[in-house]
Structure 1
Amino acid sequence: MTPTFPEGTETGQINVAILIGSELLHRGLETVLRQLPMVNLMVNDDTCDVLITTDPLSRTRDKDVKTILLLDEAQVAAPAFTLSSAFDGYLIQEEITANHLRDAIHRVVAGELAIPDRLARVLLTRASGPPSAAEAPQHRPPVSLTARERVTLSLLADGLSNRQIARRLSISEHGAKRLVASVLLKLDSPNRTAAVVTAIKARLIEYA
């Protein structure tokens, strides 16, 4: 798949730092990042725009720093895995390419959630299945969405960006951002994919 980038993020230098324990993975990631002309590789993660890490418990000191978590296959396959509001994007270690890195960096800088298609499908497929024993006793209060918010939720499930939602609804991009934020708030979700997962579990939308 050829990545598409949010408007306004195709050019310009982005300071990227790496916080990874594995020296082999660290060096491999450095090699790939050096292929990206818009990346300025930083040694100090305190002054970066984007931090790439394998530590699911890591926290950036600056709230303006966007954080991308690298997952391995075991984490992706774990039934208990969920998205966290602590991270702005995710990548699967075994599938990393220069294009995937470039796309993820651009998206988190633009304020969007970066998530591999395969991981999104895994989460959505789990959400569309029968609830587990642990989930069964939990009952969310009914969610009331306006007609426009329901359409927005459906477009989120289709993977559309704020700009694409704005065009589809014939509204401004700022208006689309407000609609998306309202949907995420009502579904008590930290990001788009989590909102879609929650909506599927609540039977607000279906996932085939």
Structure 2
Amino acid sequence: MTAAGCEELDAPLHVAVLVASEVVCAGLDASLTSLPTVGAVTVLPLEGDGLSARIGAADVLIVAAEQWSLLETCTDITGLPSTMVLGDNLYERWNGDLSSLPVDGFLSLQDLSVQALDDALRRVTMGEMPIPSSLAKRLLAGGRGGGTASGQRGIPLTSRENQAFALLADGMSNKQIARRLGISVHGAKRLVGSILLKLGASNRTSAVITGMKSGLL
């Protein structure tokens, strides 16, 4: 278990599941219910009104890669809970563009286990980005492709992400970043998540190291 996995949560989590496969959905429901970190599990319907509200009531959303695009229909994407995408071969599926939709972490379906779920839930609630090592390596390889000398070209961050990254590198928490940038804590969490994803980093420390090597800091 990682260091993050050893942290105690303030309260049991409400986890929403948006997965079409009945087999995968049932397995997730049973595994999540067995975790002391989870207080409630809601299996969401794929069709019908009120999806945004039902998702927004949860602390964490686990969505299958095939259903990820359904989040585009949500009226307020910034108000979504921490979102983890479940699937394999994600880099190839979206040609490396994994930040166009809300995401705070990834789960490998092939390597999924109760322990992996517990660890990922703890980490995502702490502002880290759970990500399979194979996907992290693929993102890094893709981001550094072409042999560009400039880290800014190899790993393009938006101006807002650059601001947040500088504050992150100074050791600020999501709450402190939000206060400094004049945005919500959830907005800050989204920025940090996007930064970690683009850098192929699973936590803040590795993001800073990658940023320094790439010339972003």
Range of TM-score over shorter length: 0.5 to 0.7
1:57 aligned residue: 69
2:204 aligned residue: none
CA distance in 2, matches of 1:10, 1:107: 10
Q: 2:111 aligns with which of 86, 95, 98?
A: 95
Alignment coverage as a number of residue pairs: 172
CA distance in 2, matches of 1:52, 1:175: 21
Which letter maps to 1:115? Answer: I
Over the residues paired in the alignment, what is the CA RMSD in angstroms? 4.3
Check 1:6–1:33 CA distance in 2 against 1; reply closer, same or farther (3 A cut). Answer: closer
Unaligned runs of at least 5 residues, structure 1: 132-137, 153-164, 167-172
CA distance in 1, matches of 2:3, 2:192: 28
1:41 aligned residue: 41
CA distance in 1, matches of 2:142, 2:87: 18
Contact 1:70 1:91 (8 Å CA) reproduced: yes
Which letter maps to 1:56? Answer: W
The C-alpha deviation readout for 1:95-129, integer Å capped at 9, x for no partner, is 11112211221222222222122211111122233
Aligned-partner SS, 1:67: strand
CA distance in 2, matches of 1:98, 1:177: 32
Which letter maps to 2:144? Answer: S
1:128 aligns with 2:144: yes
How far 1:56 moved relative to its partner? Answer: 2.3
Which letter maps to 1:119? Answer: L
CA distance in 1, matches of 2:16, 2:8: 18
Contact 1:113 1:191 (8 Å CA) reproduced: no
CA distance in 2, matches of 1:51, 1:176: 21
The C-alpha deviation readout for 1:64-103, integer Å capped at 9, x for no partner, is 4111111223x34447132225111111111111122112
Unaligned runs of at least 5 residues, structure 2: 45-53, 148-153, 182-187, 202-209
1:204 aligns with 2:215: yes
Normalised TM-score (structure 2): 0.60
Return structure 1 stretches of 4+ with deviation > 6 angstroms. none
Normalised TM-score (structure 1): 0.62
1:160 aligned residue: none
2:23 aligned residue: 24
Mean Cα displacement is larger for which, 105-114 or 49-58?
A: 105-114
Contact 1:51 1:65 (8 Å CA) reproduced: yes
CA distance in 1, matches of 2:174, 2:193: 19
Which letter maps to 1:129? Answer: G
Q: Which has the larger radius of gyration?
A: 1
CA distance in 1, matches of 2:81, 2:192: 23
Contact 2:16 2:61 (8 Å CA) reproduced: yes
Q: 2:132 aligns with which of 116, 129, 134?
A: 116
How far 1:190 moved relative to its partner? Answer: 2.4
Contact 2:59 2:81 (8 Å CA) reproduced: yes
Contact 1:70 1:92 (8 Å CA) reproduced: yes
Sequence identity of aligned pairs in percent?
24
Aligned-partner SS, 2:68: coil
1:107 aligns with 2:123: yes
